[in-house]
Amino acid sequence: MKNKPEELAADSSVYKTLLESTRAIPWKIDWKTMKFAYIGPQIEALLGWTPESWQSVEDWASRMHPDDQGWVVDFCVAQSKSGIDHEADYRALHKDGHYVWIRDVVHVSRDENGEVEALIGFMFDISERKKTEEKVVALQKKLEEYSFQDGLTGVANRRMFDSFLDEAWHSALRNHQPLSVLLLDIDNFKQYNDLHGHLQGDECLKRIANVLMGAATRSKDFVARFGGEEFVIVLPETNPAAALKVAERCHQHLLREQIAHGGNSASQLVTLSIGVGTITPARNDSLTDFLGLVDQRLYEAKHQGRNRIVAA
């Protein structure tokens, strides 16, 4: 029979073999000296650093991404001092220079007097999990973009327009700056669909959207599908003269497209009627009234024979 010390040694050997055969990397830090008492040999396969190179918490902290280092070290030290078991996710530096996502799960060990004696934990490679999380976040962002995007033309939809215009209006109000809006309607679009078919009509809408995007060139300019064959362009910080130039560019760019339209009373090509409005809003002004004014100018452009711009 084995005596007691031999049994303990055998048990210890078994436990060590079990720990070192898992993908989790065990480690232990002596609290008083802040030195590593042990770290599993799996660390070298994961991060490239030999177990012998992990001497103290300084090695742990210095092999951490700079953006993670401050908060992770402060958090872990504070939790450890309070005797609270904890965990932290961070990017650990691989010896060849790239970073690996790590989760450290930490148990705070105390002596018989209740004083912190050691930190015992496991490191887990969570790189794949982080990649999955990043994909989910990217997908959520894409879905959010889609919820604000017109599915046919790719420009913003009415929902996004309402949100953007409200923000642009309040910004113009705060900063006492002009705000311009163009309402654009494809002339005789019902006749276009009747003559060319709805599939061709969809292609026409896509081409019009591209024309408008090309005419409103600043990063702050905003193009949306207002509904049906109507589009809208919002031009923050834009005076009447500059807004009129954008409207004229819309006509010029569309003319270059030469989209045939045999059912258009204004031309043998697809054309646009455009209403233009500019306001530097004051407290007693109404966004609804302003949009109504622009819409009235679009109506006037239609009434005057289409393929024209009506501004102030």
Bridge partner list, 231: 184, 225
User: Which position has the token pair 């720990």?
Assistant: 19
Residue of 7, 58, 87, 229 marked catalytic: 229
What H or E segment, with its residue span, contains residue 102? strand 99-110
Task: Give exposure, 3-39, as e/b (b: 16+ Cβ within 10 Å).
Answer: eeeeeeeeeeeeeeeebeeeeebbbbbebeeeebeeb
Q: Note the residue count of the chain.
A: 312
Alpha-carbon gap, residue 7 to 215, rounded angstroms: 83
Query: By CB neighbour count within 10 A (0-12 exposed, 13-18 middle, 19+ buried), where does 96 fall?
Result: exposed
Active-site annotation holds for 117: no
Tell me which residue of 77, 90, 68, 72 sits closest to 34, measured CA to CA. Answer: 77
> Which residues are catalytic, by number?
229
